[in-house]
Structure 1
């Protein structure tokens, strides 16, 4: 349980670090708008959107920590019988990595003012994200056809619950991504920069979350591999 809490607690630390970094690296001379609206020196504040995303990621990370904690406790019981892990999950992980990379490229393109590159990267990131969700549904279908259903036992239920919670977070992100994409056609790139950067940050968070959750699902019911990996240099 301790290892599980520490493992997913990294998410909360990453979210807090990102939020603190945004406040420390704010560049008021890059803000658009009338000069009278520019923040004065010594009074820089984190934009409300960044603050909101940081708080949301912290709450989401806490939820995932609680989920993994419950998973770790339950899998120590004698009747724990985890379902086989569909090989499709590895392909889905690679697809989500590509989505995160695409959003990172979109954020960099906004800094260059390259509208065409931003549009292409957002489209690729959104497409890869939808492909990831489709892959997760196919993994569910594969398990269901093999007889592994949520009502069967706790291990099966946890698999569906964990992947569903992550998928819902990704769906919420797609709503924000779609809004940014729709505004790309008419709004100046400078006004879209914050939205795209927030989407990229959120996709990086979703990727880290999935990697941790996938590691938990793939290597349960034991975290001995993680303990061995961390203690190897000290042997």
Structure 2
């Protein structure tokens, strides 16, 4: 999953990036509202962490512009402000959740996971496809109850497909959502990771739709 952080405080931005990358997310970081608005408009993200007190363009304006332009990615508003009016303003501008500073990293990650699950129509933290189960809280994957060890990139790819089970996901979409902005998008690593996942979880777990991409379906569908 790919996340955009828009935070102007250098130390907090760097800390958030390290925390989210450690939790398995691909992360882009913008340090002002202008760059954040541009990235959120031109790139694909599964969620955004947006500070309200930003230079150049404030966070509420950035969020309002995204929503007016039809950008529907879930947004977690992050701010030092603690008045009820600021919370209402953020939610009215289109925020999906709100977290005031200071905060615990565990709570931030939990809220982020919940936003991404809801956005893809998954209520539970455990994603299931046949005998394959993926726990988004622990990052563990099992096959028929037995643990399966995946690399970080294999996990990211499988997680994205399981969040979008039943849909055809193009190679381009996978690249956009599991890698950060600096990744070489001409790479053929998607095909390599799909092959490795099939070896670990079974050849039928991921279906190739020729000319379109990949799909993860329930057995028998």
TM-score using structure 1 length: 0.20
- Larger helix percent: 1
Q: Which has the higher contact order (CA 8 A, sep 6+)?
A: 1
Q: What TM-score do you get using the length of structure 2 for normalisation?
A: 0.21
- Greater Rg, structure 1 or structure 2? 1
Specify which structure has the higher proportion of strand.
2
